[in-house]
Amino acid sequence: MRYQVLRPPYCYRWAVLISIVLVTVSLIISLSWAGAEGTPAGSQPPSAQPVQAAPGPQAPAAPAHAPVRTTARQGRFVALTFDDGPDPAYTPQILDLLAQHGAVATFCMVGTQVRRHPELVAQVVRRGMRLCDHTVSHDEQLARRNEARISADITGAQADLRLAADGDVAVPYFRAPGGNWSETITTIASRAGMTPLGWSVDSRDWTLPGAPAIVATVEQAVQPGAVILLHDGGGQRGQTVDALAELLPWLVGQGYQFDFPAT
């Protein structure tokens, strides 16, 4: 007896085939989404990400503008500087002594004195000397003042000097009263186009020790490149004039030449 094998109709076979295809496609899509969720959009696999170098030591902050304490030229040079003038009693005498010995100097002038004696500022410039801003008021506690006060005292004296010198003469230096510096002071002076000016030899003439003591102090401390602090104002400066009359020929005899401070 022969049995017939029952076969499902063709429509059922196609339905089964389509179901298998759909299941396969669904599995592929599910696997793709699972892979995508493992790596954030736009990112690289861990093995492909660049390795960041460990941070190295930080570069030091840029130093503030330190006051210069040497001459512009190297060698056997000295720079003479005179503070607290101009003074009608002493500044002309000092200018005459400088001229007699072929010397140049820098005059650090106080604004209140500049306003009283603008003709002396012009005379200093005509003699080939340089100007230095020494503030309007010579406030030795300037470093403790607020920034607005400091700026007014510095730029005010600069304006006084330029006005007295007819406005077209440079004021290349600034010196803090008493040598009392701060970062704010040096920054403001530098921003105004002036080099902060210190000294390397203090003659201590401001203590009025007598001309011989002033001479001895300078002779013992001077060396090539020195910036020497003297005074032509701010008090009785006859001792300074007398000391300068001895120092200038002595410096020349020691082989020194005269220069301006570095800028």
What is the pLDDT of the chain when averaged over all its residues?
A: 84
d(CA 168, CA 35): 76
Residue 27 has pLDDT above 70, yes or no: no
Which band of pLDDT confidence, cut at 50, 70 and 90, is reported for residue 10?
very low
Query: What is the assigned CATH class of domain 77-258?
Result: alpha beta
Q: Is 117 a catalytic residue?
A: no
Q: How many CB atoms lie within 10 A of CB 160?
A: 22
Kindly report, residue by residue over 64-86, the tens digit of the pLDDT: 589 999 999 999 999 999 999 99
Kindly report, residue by residue over 88-132, the tens digit of the pLDDT: 999 999 999 999 999 999 999 999 999 999 999 999 999 999 999
What does the DSSP 8-state code read for residue 254?
Answer: T
Residue 5 has pLDDT above 50, yes or no: no
The catalytic position among 65, 134, 138, 231 is: 231
Kindly report, residue by residue over 129-170, the tens digit of the pLDDT: 999 999 999 999 999 999 999 999 999 999 999 999 987 899
As a whole number of Å, the end-to-end CA separation of the chain is 125
Nearest to 233 by CA among 252, 195, 205, 262: 205
Q: Is 134 a catalytic residue?
A: no
The catalytic position among 83, 84, 87, 160 is: 83
Kindly report, residue by residue over 210-254, the tens digit of the pLDDT: 999 999 999 999 999 999 999 999 999 999 999 999 999 999 999
CB neighbour class for 261 (10 Å; exposed up to 12, middle 13-18, buried from 19):
buried
- Residue 212 tokens, joined: 């011989």
pLDDT for 82 equals 98
Task: For residue 196, list its beta bridge partners.
Answer: 174
181: Cβ contacts below 8 Å, ≥ 6 apart: 67, 143, 196, 198
